[in-house]
Each structure stands twice: as C-alpha cells, then as structure tokens.
Amino acid sequence: MRPETLAVHAGAEPDAATGAVAPPIHLSTTFAHGPAGERVAGFEYVREGNPTQDRLEAALAALEGGAGALAFASGMAAISALLDGLPAGAEVLYPQDCYSGLRVLAHEFLPPRGLVARAVDATDPAAVRAALTPATRLLWLETPSNPQLRICDIAALSTLAHDHGVAVACDNTFATPLLQRPLALGADVVMHSTTKYLGGHSDALGGALVFARRDAWFDAVAHRRHLTGGVLAPFNAWLTLRGLRSLPARLAWHCRNARAVAEFLAGHPRVEAVHWPGLATHPNHAIAARQMRDFGGMLSVRIRGGRDTALAVAAKVRLFTNATSLGGCESLIEHRASVEGPNPVSPPNLLRLSVGLEHADDLIDDLRQALA
Ligand SMILES: *Cc1c(COP(=O)(O)O)cnc(C)c1O
C-alpha cells in the first residue's frame, strides 16, 4: 500500500470489543493476569507496553517500512535509548549540523561513559570515511539537518558504514516517512521526534525508533526502554496517532507553503541566503531530489547585516510566532543562536522557520513587512 493509505489505515483496525472506529485510549497502568502471571491479552504493566502504543508502533513501522517500532516519551528519550546501548570504548559519528540536544548529549553525557562522539561533515562522504576508525560503531545521520537544512546521501553513507561494520541511524524528523524512507536507502534505524510533524499539532511530546530488522538490537533497546522507563504516555500515543492520520495531507500543504516562502525570501534584497533543499541553489539539491519525494516545511534564512538585523526581523513578525519546535499547523520562527545555550553554533544571522498551514500569501505578507 502507498504511504497515504498506510497513514490512514496502519494500526487503525476497529476496536475488537466495541467496533469503535476511532481507537480507544487505554489509560490503565496494569492488566489483569492469571494467578501465575499468565497474560490475558498480551499486556501486563504499562511501562512494558499498552494497546494504544501498540497501534502507534504498528503505524510507524508500516510507514517507515520497518520490521518494528518503539515509541518513547520524547525524541531525546529515543536517541538516548539507542546511544545508551553502545559499549564503553565505542565511537559515534554525528553530523556537524544537527539537533542541538544530540550535540549536548555527545559533549556532556557520552564521554563520562567512555564513548567517543565526533562531529563530521556528513555532506561529504570522504570526510565520513576519513573519520571512521576500528572502534566506530554507529553513524548518526540527520537529513535535512536542524537548523541549516543540510542534506547527506543516506544510501552512499549507509553503504560506506556497512562496509566498515558500522550501523546507521537516521533522524527523519524533518522529512517524515512521507518524504523520505531511510530504511529503504540502507539505514538500520530511523529516529523521530513525533512531537513535530507526526503529531503535527504542537500538543504531544513523543519519540520513536523504527528498526529495519526485529533482531537482538531491537530486543535490547525494547528491554532498555522497559527498565529505564522512558515510555510514551497512552494519551500522547493516542494524540500522535490522531495526528498521523492526516500527515500526508498536512505535509503536502507544508511543502507547498515552504516553497512559496523560500522563493519569496530567495528574491529579497535583505536576505543573504535561504536554506531549503528544494531550491536549485541548495548545494545538495540533487541528492535531496533523489532521496526525497518533496522538500518539507522547514527552512532557514540568513539575514544580511548579522545578529541584530536578524533579531529585528524576528521581533517584527506578527503572524509567525517566535517559538521553538516545529511541524505544527501554525508558523513559527526562531533565532536559533539565542536559544542554543552558552556556546551557540548556529550562524548569528540565521532564523529558522517552521512554515505552517496558513495561506502562503499571508505568510509572505508578514515576512515582507518584517523585512521592510
Ligand atoms: C525536536 C527534535 C529532536 C528532539 O525531540 P524531542 O521530542 O523534543 O525530545 C530530535 N531531532 C530533531 C531533528 C528535532 O527537531
């Protein structure tokens, strides 16, 4: 089945007990069992699994073309669960431009555990090859990357990594499985912050890992989730499922609006650069066009003049809201360097835009007056 159909139907069977078409939310933390712990319907305690989460995991696995999915309390819980399973001494390579939370984990949390995490230019396969060592265990990819919308070649890097016995994980939050399917391109695991496009309404924190194979790695991460407890609440699983059903329709609109906004910004004299992989001027447009179905609703823009002029634009928007996060119905704007803590890495004149579902002309009018 095609992804549009899977988004509506995967994990959406009518409730067996009542025929309810909308899925029930099972909030119960515990499930009756027999006197010797015999399971009645496969469940025991909510931290291990629950029926609402099962539906979400079935839907995510189907959409990504994976063998199994694990839902987590947040995207960061999903990332941590994967990294925490690496043995001491292992090396992880991650992209120079990436979600700031991953960078902080790599700097602060991995070294005390005896792990080596190194940032590489993932847009350059030769740089990745040069960074591989016999201790490298995991290559982390994020494409398009947050916030500079860099593109890396998932297929080429997966082949390279596998030739060296290195596993590949790909953060697919910006693209979603509707635009890009990393497992089909060779990655071993896909990670999502479902908080963003999958939930789609800025009201449910969540994360997920989708595995190409249901193997010992999958079982180990599931066991880790059960024991360390970074699980998704059933209500958030339900909200995320609800969002997922309309993902294809929303995303088509996000992509269309982002194109209109990117083209407007690219032609504006106060704009130094627009980072959106759908523009032919994007340095990795050709790879994006090959591995993505469309280019997504996220873009970033660099304003001529520097930090102060960028901040002045962010202060002048009326329809865009200055806020972090992305992928909701409403358009958001954020000066990333201001929110990256004591050592910001984003260019000081960069604004990140999550282009929402409003009319594109209203968004452009707002940006035009803010840039005036
Ligand atoms: C938001 C985000 C994360 C972290 O997810 P949370 O749900 O906020 O924990 C990871 N990667 C990317 C690309 C993100 O945008």
CATH number at residue 74: 3.40.640.10
Domain shared by 140 and 212, yes or no: yes
**Closest-lying ligand 1 atom to the alpha carbon of residue 325:** 1
Q: How confident is the model at residue 343 (pLDDT cuts 50, 70, 90)?
A: confident
Alpha-carbon gap, residue 232 to 278, rounded angstroms = 34
Residue 97, domain extent: 3-242
Q: Is 352 in the pocket of ligand 1 (CB under 6 A)?
A: no
Residues near 97 by Cβ (< 8 Å), separated by ≥ 6?
Answer: 142, 145, 146, 147, 148, 150
Q: How far apart are CA 49 and CA 43, in angstroms?
A: 7
**Do 199 and 238 touch, CB atoms closer than 8 A?**
no
Identify whether residues 274 and 321 lie together within a single domain: yes
Write the residue with the smallest CA distance to atom 12 of ligand 1: 99
The verdict on 223 and 252 lying in the same domain is: no
Tell which of 188, 218, 242 closes a domain.
242
pTM: 0.98
CA distances from 13 to 21, 87, 211 (A): 7, 40, 23
Tokens encoding 71: 């839902």
Nearest to 122 by CA among 155, 167, 149, 157: 157
Instruction: Establish whether residue 236 lines the binding site of ligand 1, counting it when its CB lies within 6 angstroms of any ligand atom.
Output: no
E strand or H helix at 185, and its extent? none
105 and 26 inside one domain: yes
Name the DSSP class of 47.
T
Asked if residue 252 and residue 230 are part of one domain, the reply reads no
Spacing, Cα 76 to ligand 1 middle (Å): 6
**Band of the pLDDT at 341, cuts 50, 70, 90?**
confident
Integer Cα distance of 8 and 176 in angstroms? 15
Report the domain count for the chain.
Answer: 2
What tokens does 264 get? 């407007």
| 202, 314: one domain | no
Asked whether residue 317 falls in the same domain as residue 276, the answer is yes
Domain harbouring 296, CATH code: 3.90.1150.10
Q: Which are the catalytic amino acids?
A: 47, 99, 171, 196
What DSSP assignment string belongs to 30-89? B--B-TT--BSSS--BTTT--HHHHHHHHHHHHHHT-SEEEEESSHHHHHHHHHHTSPTT
Tell me the residue length of the chain.
Answer: 372
Amino acid at 296: G
Identify the helix (H) or strand (E) that includes residue 216: helix 216-228
**Do the Cβ atoms of 29 and 89 come closer than 8 Å?**
no
Report the nearest atom of ligand 1 relative to the CA of 145.
Answer: 13
**103/87 Cα distance (integer angstroms):** 19
- The 10s digit of each residue's pLDDT in 134-193 is 999 999 999 999 999 999 999 999 999 999 999 999 999 999 999 999 999 999 999 999
Asked if residue 274 and residue 201 are part of one domain, the reply reads: no
Same domain, 194 and 334: no
Q: Which residues contact 249 (CB under 8 A, 6 or more apart)?
A: none
Contact call for residues 228 and 75 (beta carbons, < 8 A): no
**What whole-number distance in Å separates Cα of residue 335 and Cα of residue 311?**
7
Distance, CA 9 to ligand 1 centroid (Å)? Answer: 26
Q: Which atom of ligand 1 is nearest to the CA of 78?
A: 9
Asked whether the beta carbons of 3 and 244 are under 8 A apart, the reply is no
pLDDT digits (tens, 9 = 90+) for 21-77: 999 999 999 999 999 999 999 999 999 999 999 999 999 999 999 999 999 999 999
**Looking at the structure, do residues 197 and 282 belong to the same domain, yes or no?**
no
Q: List the residue whose alpha carbon is closest to atom 11 of ligand 1.
A: 99
pLDDT tens string 84-140 = 999 999 999 999 999 999 999 999 999 999 999 999 999 999 999 999 999 999 999
* Nearest-CA residue for atom 6 of ligand 1: 75
User: Does ligand 1 lie within 6 Å of residue 205's CB atom?
Assistant: yes
- Joined together, the tokens standing for residue 123 give 């847009």
Residues 214 and 317 in one domain: no
21 and 62 belong to one structural domain: yes
Domain ends where: 242, 264, 296?
A: 242
